[in-house]
Structure 1
Amino acid sequence: MMTYYSFFKAFHIIGFVTWFAGLFYLVRMFVYHAETDQKPLALQADWRKQFTLMQWRVYKIISTPAMVITWIFGLLMLFVNPAILDQTWIKIKLVLLVLLVIYHFYCRAIIVKQEKVEDSRNSFNYRLLNELPTLFLVAIVLLAVVRDFLDFLKLFGGVMAFGIVLFVFAKMYKKRREA
Structure 2
Amino acid sequence: MLHLYLKSLHIIGFVSWFAGLFYLVRMFVYHAEADQKPEHLREAFKKEYILLQKRAYKIICNPAMMITWTCGILMLINSPFFLQQGWLHVKLVLLVLLTGYHIFCKKTIERLERGESRFVFNSFQYRLLNELPTLFLVAIVLLAVVKNLLNFVYLFLGVIAFGMLLFVAARAYRKHRESK
TM-score range, shorter chain: over 0.9
Count of residues in correspondence between the two structures: 177
> In the alignment, which residue of structure 2 is the partner of 1:66?
64
> In the alignment, which residue of structure 2 is the partner of 1:98?
96
Following superposition of structure 1 onto structure 2, how do residues 148-163 of structure 1 map, counting pairs within 5 Å? 148=148, 150-163=150-163
Between the aligned partners of 1:156 and 1:139, the Cα distance in structure 2 is: 8
2:32 to 29, 34, 51: 34
One-letter amino acid matched to 1:171: R
Between the aligned partners of 1:136 and 1:19, the Cα distance in structure 2 is: 12
Gaps of 5+ in 1: none
Q: Which runs of 4+ in 1 moved over 3 A?
A: none
> In the alignment, which residue of structure 2 is the partner of 1:55?
53
| Residue identity (%) | 60
> How far does the alpha carbon of each residue in 1:134-158 deviate from its partner, in whole angstroms, 9 at most, with x for none?
0000000000111126534323322
RMSD across aligned positions (CA)? 1.1
> In the alignment, which residue of structure 2 is the partner of 1:89?
87
Following superposition of structure 1 onto structure 2, how do residues 7-26 of structure 1 map, counting pairs within 5 Å? 7-26=5-24
Kindly state the Cα deviation for residue 42 of structure 1 after the two structures are TM-superposed: 0.3
Cα pair 2:17 2:60 within 8 Å, conserved = yes
> How far does the alpha carbon of each residue in 1:64-103 deviate from its partner, in whole angstroms, 9 at most, with x for none?
0100000000000000000000000001100000000000
Kindly state the Cα deviation for residue 172 of structure 1 after the two structures are TM-superposed: 1.2
TM-score (norm 1): 0.96
Between the aligned partners of 1:55 and 1:13, the Cα distance in structure 2 is: 23
